[in-house]
Structure 1
Amino acid sequence: MNVDALIANKKSWNEAAPRFYGRNPLPEYGPLAPTEDELQLIGDVTGLKVLEIGCGSGHSLQYMDQKHAGELWGLDLSTKQIESARDLLKNSRAPVQLFESPMEEDPGLPQHYFDLAYSVFAIGWTVDLDRTLANVHRYLKQGGVFVFSWEHPLFSRIASQDGTFVVAKSYHEEGSFDHEAWQETAIMQQFRLSTYLNVCIQQGFSIERVVEDVSLTDEMLKNQTNRWYSYEKAARIPTTMIIKCRKI
């Protein structure tokens, strides 16, 4: 496990936390992507024990509380994010347990316990995908569901040059990279879609659904011009991948 990358990412997220406070939580799965309201990948969470991997400022857990989840659990690498989440969720209806921890490490979460685990646009920060998914598998009950989203692996490989979209980097190349749209120094991971699917399968998950759709409206056209997730690019290339799998 790349400890140096974890240290760099923790520092980066502590610096970036105010910029991402409350940004794009559930029911959103990612920029210009269909929402949980449309997809119903998670569905009814009434009474369920739920765990968020990369819980950020806690707004997706707040969404789960509003949907009457039974228990709210979350982990995040960033001290600042966990502090924000604790403050946000202090008056939650459901009991809350938050852990400041990398997703690659088990901070003492109960095993074979959770009905649902999910991760919204966070999984690409792992420095060890196999270890992270093995942890999630161990946390879930038999038959438990894991839903996660991340930037589609093709999106950063395609660039706009002089009004034309070109392949700027090989889709087959995997590993660590510095994301050009990220302001702070940080290490993210690039994997092919097939790698995410195959690691899920190898760790004991059954793949139930893969979503690569985009959701584009005229309002988005006005708001997304000249941004990393631009309307023009999203009309041609999916911005987000969403994967639903189940522990078998």
Structure 2
Amino acid sequence: MHQNEIIDNNKNYWNENADSWFGTTALPTYGVKFVSEDDLHLFKDVSGKKVLEICCGSGHSLKYLADRNAAELWGVDLSHKQLENAENYLRENGYTAKLICSPMEAELNIPKDYFDYVYSIYGIGWTTDLQGTFNKIASFLKKDGIFIFSWHHTLNYCVAWSCSQRQDVIENDQLVFSKSYFDESYFTMPVHGREIVLCNRKISTYINALAKAGFAVEQMIELNDKQTMESVDDNSDKTKKAKMIPISVCFKARKL
């Protein structure tokens, strides 16, 4: 698929399934079975700050920051249905935001050197142009502005459970590599009866793209939540996997 085909495919998915994801993976949550903003405090004090969310979804993260007295709320999402949900949700809670319906890769009508925070909760990984997206985000931020984003950890898509076929083996299933860590090609994944298109980028790809865009990485977090790590009753495959590898990753970077 070409870039525009991937964007159109994923946009159609989100327009059709926005309601299914209403309120999920939003601040204070950074990812499934992952430490939260309540643990990390990456945003510090947002009172009076201008914030921009990339892939703002249903608006729950914007509302979280508005509750903490952020001065201006901006959001970008490629799905008009997501933005419709966000506008309604924010209005119901007494807030307004400047919402822009556009792919993050496009030229956006957003002021430069303006924001204190740009962030994305499980959204950046959808970009078809990581470097271009990071460059744009850097241009939106003031000097010393903060960029925070989370996404699936690279290893999460590289390893899977393998069931032993040997009759004499009764030990638990083992995680095995199902694809190469170095493979950054696009792949399709069935979700809700449709296929989404993603690529699984190396951690170094994110780090190097941030550096090239003029960011200094202040924190990289790959820590699953304490409840998951200490669980003794939950034997689901996802929990067992989370005890062995990071499921999500989160970055905090400062514009130089």
Larger Rg belongs to: 2
**CA pair 220-81 structure 1, distance change in 2 beyond 3 A:** farther
Q: TM-score, normalised by structure 1?
A: 0.93
2:212 to 202, 216, 220: 202
After superposition, what is the alpha-carbon deviation per residue over 1:147-178, rounded to whole angstroms, capped at 9, x for unaligned?
00000001110010111110110001113112
- Write the distance in 2 (CA, Å) between the matches of 1:67 and 1:156: 34
Kindly tell me the number of residue pairs found equivalent between the two proteins.
245
Q: Percent identity?
A: 38
User: Which shows bigger deviation, 172-181 or 134-143?
Assistant: 172-181
**CA pair 183-246 structure 1, distance change in 2 beyond 3 A:** farther
Report what 1:234 is aligned to: 242
Report what 1:214 is aligned to: 224
- Write the distance in 1 (CA, Å) between the matches of 2:24 and 2:235: 15
State the SS of the aligned residue for 1:185: strand
1:43 Cα shift?
Answer: 1.3
- Write the distance in 2 (CA, Å) between the matches of 1:43 and 1:224: 35
8 Å Cα contact 1:65/1:93 also seen in 2: no
Report what 1:105 is aligned to: 106
**CA pair 66-221 structure 1, distance change in 2 beyond 3 A:** farther
After superposition, what is the alpha-carbon deviation per residue over 1:56-79, rounded to whole angstroms, capped at 9, x for unaligned?
000000101101100000000111
Pairing of 1:1-248 with structure 2 (within 5 A): 2-91=3-92, 95-162=96-163, 163-179=173-189, 183-217=193-227, 225-226=236-237, 230-248=238-256
- Write the distance in 2 (CA, Å) between the matches of 1:151 and 1:91: 31
State the SS of the aligned residue for 2:194: coil
- Write the distance in 2 (CA, Å) between the matches of 1:149 and 1:202: 19
1:107 Cα shift?
Answer: 2.4
RMSD of Structure 2 on Structure 1 (CA): 1.8
State the SS of the aligned residue for 1:173: coil
- Structure 2: where are the runs of 5+ without partners? 164-172
**CA pair 90-114 structure 1, distance change in 2 beyond 3 A:** same
Give the partner amino acid of 1:37.
D
1:140 Cα shift?
Answer: 0.5
